[in-house]
Amino acid sequence: MADFESLKRLCQEYLPVSDLATIKRAYDTSYSAHDGQFRKSGSPYIVHPTSVACILAELRQDTPTICAGLLHDTVEDTHLTEKEIETAFGHDICQLVKGVTKLGKFRFDSKEAEQAENFRKMFLAMAQDVRVVIIKLADRLHNMRTLSHLPPPKQQRIARETREIFAPLAHRMGMWNLKWEMEDLAFQALQPEEFQHIRELVSSNRDEREHYVERFSGQIRLILDEAGIHSDVTGRPKHFYSIFQKLDQNHISFDELYDILGIRVFVNTLPECYQVLGVVHSHFKPISGRIKDYIAVPKSNLYQSLHTTVIGPEGKPIEIQIRTYEMHQVAEYGVAAHWQYKAQKTSGATQGDFAWLREIVDFHYDPTTPADFLRELKLDLFIEEVFVFSPKGDIQMFPKGSTPIDFAYKIHTEIGHSCIGAKANGHIVPLDYRLRNGDRIEVLRSKISAPKLDWLDFVATSQAKNRIKQWFKRQKSLANIKAGKRKFEKVVLMSGIPLKVVGSDDFLVAMRESYPRFSLASFDEMYELIAKGDLMPRELIRHYRDSTQDATVAMDPIFMQRVRSKKSNASSGVTVLGERNISVKFAKCCSPLPGDVIIGFITLGAGVSVHRSDCGHIFHLTPDKKARLVEVEWDAQRGQHQFSVSLLVEGFNRLGFLQDVLAVITSKKLTLAHVETRLHDQGGMVSVILILDIPNVVQLDLLMGSIRGISDVVAVQRT
């Protein structure tokens, strides 16, 4: 049981003797404040803060942190006030106690919305002083160690919270020992049977395994000695929960687990790490793909080491971690140890000097912009993950390298599809911007925008990738349907079967019988198969004709007659989808002339009617009728066709006005079909309506120009 003597022993190992007085004073203050209080286990309450202080001392924390650990529950649970602590122990310790008390109030098992806020507060607390979170972690670790004294429902809640929040937090801060112990304790509480199973597996042939590791370590020691490298070689402790996870996730047996067998090699200098790797590989065959160089590329939580797995004696794979003593200290204590080691080495400053952290805090801290601040504190302690906030403050986690597009697709597929830009912390950023911890991301959208293919080059999440690919697949399919439909209708027009016949469900049913290998559930599917070349429209029509006795299908006599008559005339003057000899009719509503931009409308059983593309009738077609529009073009090889056009000429009435107009038409050798004049009641104006035959728009333009040149003509227009 933790008492002051054991705490003192730990502190003496690394703190100046002069600090012990303060620690003793903190212990005494906590002791008398908690006097009369007991833990659920029945032991006096002081055991808890003392144990927390011991954990902190094992982590080699500074004196204020140890003192705050001793006092961490006094403000919450005893008569002691913040002010009294400040007076007795100064500002620094008081701030730490205050920070831990505040953190203690958060409930991490709360609903998701609250969880985001709690995370934010946690990060902020960490940003203000990392020591607050380290104390909190030590507090939690001791509570986990004594979990069995609590009622089962509370055990479950605390264990889950530990697994989901505190262990990952310790992991992200690189505090492996804390993390592993917390995980094993939570594992035991949450999955007692599985825990028992793994424990038995590990202990079943422990002697044999330890013996093997011992022999292997001896061999490595020997070959390194021979190579003249001074080193320490040790076996590596195993953690139940990580074994369980590996077995569970990889579906492998216990014997296949690579790193169940592991050793560590410690050396003095960085170059020696690589020398060791070389020497080991020259004696034992490395397993390819299992060499990891975290020295050249340290993990973001500062972890450095060389990892390799080799085939050891008896053909068993064994993992070897190679690192310097300095790297090991960081690996063991994470961010908590890092600056201490630096402080000792570089300036010889007093141990546990937090100048490094304070410098960052003082320099950047601006309470109004916590997001900026978080970023500055290099919260990419967070391995391979970033967290960002939505405009509503919801927290979202992403793999490192994610972009605003990943963010958009995570919220909703449609938001991803319509994303045109993004803001990070209120500023416009490019779409390939890499999300940073604490960013507040806002997606800018446009209804008419669509995903871009090059997004695939930089999005990081598989979710975004899949959605983008799906979208393009769908678009391709839409384009195929359109192309197949055109191909089909062209052949139908040529065949003389009315479109309404082949557009009926009966047709689809007949095709299903003719082509049992396709489901042909819809026309869209049929069109797509046509576009891909899996179905031939001509064959479809032939099959349909064979399958039906319907005479109208066999042959539309009127249509065929028209086609034939057109054939003898060479051309109707217009091609439909590139085909001559399709029966066309020029729409009366807009009387198109060669040279006009035109479009065809497939009528039901009466060929194609040709309109000017700016015709009001075309513009106002309903969407389903618009589907029946086809491409038509003036046939360059058409004969000398004449087209009927109607003109309205307006001007001031005078003697000879009409004659002048008619003289122009005669001079151009045009045939007048109809003429009509209307005198207006007021202003002496006259309107002349002319209907005449003309070969094309060029001729028409010339004619209209000439008429405009006649004196007293005010306007000439096509009607």
**Closer of 73 and 635 to Mn ion (Cβ):** 73
Residue 718: its H or E element:
strand 713-718
Binder to Mn ion among 62, 129, 139, 259 (CB under 5 A)? 139
Question: Is 73 a binder of Mn ion (CB under 5 A)?
Answer: yes
Query: What phi and psi values does residue 133 have, to the nearest 5 degrees?
Result: -75, -35
What whole-number distance in Å separates Cα of residue 346 and Cα of residue 334? 19
Among the listed ranges 18-26, 132-140, 218-226, 485-493, the one in contact with Mn ion (CB under 5 A) is: 132-140
In sequence order, which residues have a C-beta less than 8 Å from that of residue 359 and are 6 or more positions away? Answer: none
How many Cα atoms occupy the beta-carbon half-sphere of 453 within 13 Å?
4
Among the listed ranges 23-31, 136-144, 214-222, 470-478, the one in contact with Mn ion (CB under 5 A) is: 136-144
CB of 468 to Mn ion, least distance (A): 49
Residues 367-406 touching Mn ion, rule: CB under 5 A, are none
Annotated catalytic sites, by residue? 76-77
Where do we find the tokens 């106002």?
A: 620
CB of 184 to Mn ion, least distance (A): 20
Among the listed ranges 71-79, 307-315, 537-545, 640-648, the one in contact with Mn ion (CB under 5 A) is: 71-79
Number of residues that bind Mn ion (CB under 5 A): 2
State both tokens at 200: 């038995």
**Closer of 2 and 441 to Mn ion (Cβ):** 2
CB of 102 to Mn ion, least distance (A): 13
Beta carbons of 17 and 24 less than 8 angstroms apart? no
State both tokens at 560: 């065929």
CB of 104 to Mn ion, least distance (A): 7
What whole-number distance in Å separates Cα of residue 283 and Cα of residue 325? 24
Report CA-CA distances (Å) from 151 to 47, 146, 158, 194.
Answer: 20, 12, 11, 21
Beta carbons of 664 and 612 less than 8 angstroms apart? no
Among the listed ranges 33-41, 133-141, 200-208, 429-437, the one in contact with Mn ion (CB under 5 A) is: 133-141
**Closer of 73 and 489 to Mn ion (Cβ):** 73
Q: Are strands 317-324 and 395-399 parallel, antiparallel or unpaired?
A: unpaired
b vs e for 383-413, b when ≥16 Cβ sit within 10 Å of the residue's Cβ? Answer: eeebbbbbeeeebbebebebbbbbbbbbeeb
What whole-number distance in Å separates Cα of residue 7 and Cα of residue 50? 7
CB of 244 to Mn ion, least distance (A): 28
**Closer of 52 and 257 to Mn ion (Cβ):** 52
CB of 98 to Mn ion, least distance (A): 14
Query: What phi and psi values does residue 611 have, to the nearest 5 degrees?
Result: -120, 160
**Closer of 37 and 504 to Mn ion (Cβ):** 37
- φ/ψ bin of 621: left (φ > 0), alpha (ψ from -120 to 50), beta (otherwise): beta
Closest residue to bound Mn ion by CB: 139
Residues 222-261 touching Mn ion, rule: CB under 5 A, are none
CB of 169 to Mn ion, least distance (A): 16
Question: Is 132 a binder of Mn ion (CB under 5 A)?
Answer: no
For residue 652, the cross-strand partners are 685
**Closer of 46 and 632 to Mn ion (Cβ):** 46
**Closer of 26 and 302 to Mn ion (Cβ):** 26
Binding flags for Mn ion, 28-67, as an x/- string (CB under 5 A): ----------------------------------------
User: In the complex, which residues of this chain contact Mn ion (CB under 5 A)?
Assistant: 73, 139
